[in-house]
A = this chain, B = another copy of it.
């Protein structure tokens, strides 16, 4: 694991009566891609703003590349894609990006390239007011690429992007990570995040309830694997009786079993001989994990 770029210790933030963040500790090392999940209002965006120094914390501390959040050094090291990108509508995409390039100390000549990269070359000289939602999001994306950030905070980066741009986006994220950027992605699109991140952090009502790799989380969650057993002929009834599973459209039986009981069950099924035509194994997916961690429910 590389150097720690982002270090959040015990971050707390209260707003009026609300405890928006509560004892959140999180680290990100160079090249890591971390998904930040959580229900609406869990505090994801607030955490990002705190990392940016836009919002002061009420407790705990954050350091970004060794500096305090909001310090010039921290900001130079950080790229940010807000959840609701807003640009001045009377500027063109190129003008807006040029401003950011200048501020990020990045050669202005590269602006055209970045615009092309996010598919905005044609619209570059139109006013942002005429952009579609996705086009604005793309422009937001383009500004993330400026400079060589050590830390990228992407707040729902795929929102508004069309499917093809989403793939592009994850390609970009991978590329950034490869170049050593630590990427923190707040997202609700679990399927995408599942495959594309190294670690997953889940916020629940301001508390960090999970922060690990997908495998470890799966293990730790102890969520049951679903076995789908296709019966030969009309043996489904027998299988139900034997395993305590539930019958699915006549021929099949679904069986939930905890990870530690999986091999036992498999062996028992094998022993049943040719009444079992086929067994499919569905390990828990991120969605189930998410449900588990983010709601605190047990299935």
Contacts and interface: CB of A to CB of B under 8 A. Distances in A.
Interface of A: 15-16, 38-42, 45, 83-84, 119, 123, 130-135, 137-138, 156, 158-166, 188-191, 287, 290-291, 294-295
27 contacts: A16-B130, A38-B162, A39-B165, A40-B132, A40-B133, A40-B135, A40-B138, A40-B161, A40-B165, A41-B123, A41-B132, A45-B132, A45-B133, A83-B160, A84-B84, A133-B156, A156-B160, A158-B188, A160-B188, A161-B188, A162-B188, A163-B188, A163-B190, A163-B287, A164-B294, A166-B188, A189-B189
Q: Nearest 10 A-B pairs (CB), nearest first?
A: A40-B134, A39-B162, A41-B132, A159-B159, A83-B133, A40-B162, A162-B188, A40-B135, A41-B135, A163-B190
Contacts of A16: 130
Contacts of A158: 188
B295 A164 contact: yes
B40 A290 contact: no
A61 B131 CA distance: 24
A294 B291 CA distance: 33
B39 A164 contact: yes
A291 B290 CA distance: 29
A291 B162 CA distance: 11
Contacts of A295: 164
A159 B160 contact: yes
Contacts of A123: 41
Nearest to A41: B132
Given A15-B130, A41-B132, A166-B188, 12 more contacts: A38-B162, A40-B134, A42-B162, A45-B133, A83-B160, A133-B156, A156-B160, A160-B188, A161-B188, A163-B287, A163-B290, A164-B291
A191 B286 CA distance: 15
A45 B160 CA distance: 11
- Of the listed residues A131, A158, A159, the one surrounded by the most CB atoms of chain B closer than 10 A to its CB is A159
A44 to B, nearest CB: 8
A242 to B, nearest CB: 28
A195 to B, nearest CB: 12
Contacts of A119: 40
A296 to B, nearest CB: 12
A134 to B, nearest CB: 3
A119 B39 CA distance: 11
Contacts of A38: 162
Nearest to A162: B39
